[in-house]
Amino acid sequence: MVPLYWYLWLGGVVFAIGVFGFLARRNIIIMFLSIELMLNGVNISLVALSHYMQDLRGQILVFFIIAVAAAEAAIGLAIIIAMFRNRDTLHADEMAEMKG
Amino acid sequence: MNEINVSMLAPLLPEVIMASAGILVLLVELVARRKETAGLLSIAAVAVAAYYVPHSFGKSFGGMFVSDGYSAFFKFIFFINLILTVLLSMRYLVIEKSNHGEYYSLVVFSTLGMMLMASAGDLIVLYLGLELMALSSYVLAGFIRHDARSSEAAVKYFLLGAFSSALLLYGITLVYGLTGTTDVSLIGAAVVEKGLSTPLFLSVVFLMAAFGFKTALAPFHMWAPDVYEGAPTSVTAFMSVGPKAAAFAAFGRVFLTGFGSLSTDWTGILVVLSILTMAVGNILAIQQDNIKRMLAYSSVAHAGYAVLGIIVGGAEGLAAMMNYLFIYGFMNLGAFAVVIMLRSEGVRGEALEDYKGLAKTHPFAAAVMLVFMFSLTGIPPTAGFIGKFYLFKAVVGAGYAWLAVVTVIFSAISAYFYLRVVMYMYMLEPEGEAVTLSLSPSLGLALLITTLVVILIGVYPSPLLSFARLAAG
């Protein structure tokens, strides 16, 4: 049996990789993927905790997170396409029409 | 296990009405020749939902959904926000060539998300409400599809919003792991029992960062100026009041009910955030020459004032915060209504320069703007003064006299940029071609309501104050 804290470390590390990717990368699609990575880190931790505590709430929350992430992807990609049509760029540093 | 039956839905009646209204508006929009019909329908739905709010007190779904005085007060803020936003938008969307009925449906769904956040007795419901509110407002921010600034604002809002909800989720996961529940009041009991530990403190920090993003507290405010400037003005008005108030509602409930026993450990951080927010908001607003951007920094500063209510805590602090957010809603929507009025075909009307000599060319518009600027500064006899006064009273009463002094100093700084608008309107001569006002009946009505309420609360505040105290009690 794999101990609980292995899963929690895995979830935490996946989440941290996501945070790092979001802060370090400048391509909007990659930044968006990093957010998905953060959500999956959360999902791993929740499922592990839920199984360990024999409590279903964590798994219910995971289902909600997966469903919301799908909606988020649909809306996010639509917004990114709308911006690409106006600006021809996917680079976060070139989104600088407004500053100050 | 609880049986599931229809009577469980009774406390959710206002939410059910709003959800049906959102779908109905979407359908009506398909057949209606005039898109304003959809807007009027959403206002009607809000009136019905508002009627049922006081009749729907109670808990449902095993305490996951809580309808009480606290949530009811916030729901009224959201309803007012929706009604005024719809009134502001009708003519504005035509000018922006984006008059699509989906707009009103998104506004209704976003409001529904806020209502769920205010009523969330469980972190799962809080998360779902937050996402419903946020996903609808991402789309609203990018609603003018042919405008690069609008889509840029939407992308920035989306990326930082999604990032902050991931932080919220990690915070929720840690709390769940430590306490074994996601119910806010059970978390409160478990926290009292177990006391503070490093992982628990980490989860408090994650949750604070997530709420900081949503309420635009510094240093999590950096999305706000860009998003507020780029988004359609009516949407900026909507976003600067509703989602902020909803995030404060959830912030207050989670921190005071869930982590109330740890308040000595987190108020210190919150005091620092509050002072930083007031500093960043008020000082950076000074150098703005775009009025939307200036109002964005001003809304950051106002979040810094409102969070004082959570620092004070208890019924007194919450009442002061709710009272402040209610008043802030009216004065901020009013100021944005004037900004929208200056936007006409081919003229953006967002630069501070456009306000030069407005008192000579359009004395009425200038006088109304004067009221809102005085109110935002906090000068009596406007509502803004009442809001700040009761907030300071609560802060001093809780033994933070020095914090009240700091706040007063920052609000003195804010007088510089608010009154500069007044100076431009009244003391400078109009330059070049006079701006044309795009005044429509609905916009006029919104201006009338906001001006009257701002002055009325300033002169006779006791009903609002007793309502807020009752709701927080």
CATH at A32? 1.10.287.3510
Cβ atoms B322, B468 nearer than 8 A: yes
Copy the structure tokens of residue B411.
């609000």
Global pTM value: 0.95
Nearest to A28 among B138, B148, B155 (CB): B155
Count how many domains chain A has. Answer: 1
Percentage of chain B lying above the pLDDT 90 cut? 83
Calculate the CA dihedral of residues B43, B48, B51, B52 and round it to 10 degrees.
-130
Among B167, B173, B184, B213, which would you mutate to test the A interface (most chain A Cβ atoms within 10 Å of its Cβ)? B173
The pLDDT of residue B473 is 78
Least confident of A68-77, B94-103, B431-440, B459-468: B431-440
A92, part of any domain: no
Contact residues on chain B for A49, CB-CB shorter than 8 A? 173, 176-177
Residue B254 has pLDDT above 90, yes or no: yes
Q: At what angle do helices B102-119 and B123-141 cross, to 10 degrees?
A: 160
Among A45, A68, A80, which would you mutate to test the B interface (most chain B Cβ atoms within 10 Å of its Cβ)? A68
Cβ–Cβ of A100/B146 closer than 8 Å?
no
A→B contacts (Cβ < 8 Å), by residue, are 8, 11, 15, 18, 22, 28, 31-32, 35, 38-39, 41-42, 45-46, 49, 53, 55, 57-58, 60-61, 64-65, 68, 71-72, 75-76, 78-80, 82-83, 85-87, 92, 95, 97-100
- Alpha-carbon distance values, B136 to B19, B172, B301 (Å): 13, 23, 25
Cis before B380? omega within 30: no
Distance from CA of A68 to the nearest CA of B (A): 7
Residue B241 has pLDDT above 80, yes or no: yes
Nearest to B177 among A41, A49, A80 (CB): A49
Cβ–Cβ of B166/A60 closer than 8 Å?
no
pLDDT confidence band for B336 (50 / 70 / 90): very high
Q: Taking the domains of chain B in order of start, what are their residue ranges?
A: 2-472
pLDDT 10s digits, B25-42: 999 989 988 888 999 999
The residues, ordered by sequence, that sit 6+ positions from B342 with a Cβ below 8 Å of its Cβ are B349, B350, B354, B355, B365, B435, B437, B438
Reported ipTM: 0.96
Distance from CA of A67 to the nearest CA of B (A): 10
Copy the structure tokens of residue A32.
């968006």
| Higher pLDDT pick, A94 / B370 | B370
With 0-12 CB in 10 A as exposed, 13-18 as middle and 19+ as buried, what is B322?
Answer: buried
Residue with the two structure tokens 């609880």: B2
In whole numbers, what is the pLDDT of chain B averaged over residues? 93
A93, part of any domain: no
Copy the structure tokens of residue B104.
């009103």
Contact residues on chain A for B182, CB-CB shorter than 8 A? 57, 61
pLDDT confidence band for B253 (50 / 70 / 90): very high
Contact residues on chain A for B287, CB-CB shorter than 8 A? 100
A69, part of any domain: yes
A65, part of any domain: yes
What value does the mean pLDDT take over residues B204-209? Answer: 95
**What is the dihedral sign for C-alpha B390, B285, B339, B249?**
negative
The pLDDT of residue B135 is 96
Residue with the two structure tokens 């006899």: B381
Residue B348 has pLDDT above 90, yes or no: no
What value does the mean pLDDT take over residues B368-397? Answer: 94
The residues, ordered by sequence, that sit 6+ positions from B122 with a Cβ below 8 Å of its Cβ are B63, B64, B65, B182, B183, B184
Calculate the CA dihedral of residues B402, B271, B273, B162 and round it to 10 degrees.
-150
A58, part of any domain: yes
A34, part of any domain: yes
pLDDT 10s digits, B46-87: 999 999 999 889 998 888 999 999 999 999 999 999 999 999
The residue of chain A nearest to residue B137, with distances taken between CA atoms, is A75
Question: Rounded distance, CA B464 to CA B323, Å?
Answer: 7
Cβ–Cβ of B176/A46 closer than 8 Å?
yes
CA angle, corner B322, sides to B260 and B330, nearest 5?
Answer: 155
Distance from CA of A83 to the nearest CA of B (A): 5
A59, part of any domain: yes
pLDDT confidence band for B5 (50 / 70 / 90): confident
Copy the structure tokens of residue B247.
């995030």
pLDDT 10s digits, B263-303: 888 999 999 999 999 999 999 999 999 999 999 999 999 99
Residue B216 φ/ψ, nearest 5 degrees: 60, 50
Residues 220 to 279 of B: which have CB under 8 A from any A CB?
A: 225-226, 229-230
The residue of chain A nearest to residue B136, with distances taken between CA atoms, is A75
Cβ atoms B113, B129 nearer than 8 A: yes
pLDDT confidence band for B2 (50 / 70 / 90): low
Secondary structure element (H or E) that encloses residue B421, with its range: helix B401-427
pLDDT 10s digits, B119-176: 999 999 999 999 999 999 999 999 999 999 999 999 999 999 999 999 999 999 999 9
Cβ atoms B251, B118 nearer than 8 A: no
pLDDT confidence band for B1 (50 / 70 / 90): very low
Query: How far is C-alpha B109 from the chain's CA centre?
Result: 15
Nearest to A98 among B142, B146, B226 (CB): B226
* Conformation bin of residue B59: beta by default, left when phi > 0, alpha when psi is -120 to 50: beta
Question: Rounded distance, CA B237 to CA B221, Å?
Answer: 17
Residue A100 has pLDDT above 60, yes or no: no
Contact residues on chain B for A29, CB-CB shorter than 8 A? none
Cβ–Cβ of B135/A41 closer than 8 Å?
no
Residue A56 has pLDDT above 50, yes or no: yes
The residues, ordered by sequence, that sit 6+ positions from B39 with a Cβ below 8 Å of its Cβ are B86, B89, B90, B104
A20, part of any domain: yes
The pLDDT of residue B389 is 94
Percentage of chain B lying above the pLDDT 70 cut? 99
pLDDT confidence band for B3 (50 / 70 / 90): low
Question: Rounded distance, CA B307 to CA B251, Å?
Answer: 9
Question: Rounded distance, CA B469 to CA B473, Å?
Answer: 6
**What is the dihedral sign for C-alpha B204, B248, B184, A18?**
negative
Query: How far is C-alpha B5 from the chain's CA centre?
Result: 34
Domain ranges, residue A38 = 4-87
Question: Rounded distance, CA B173 to CA B193, Å?
Answer: 19
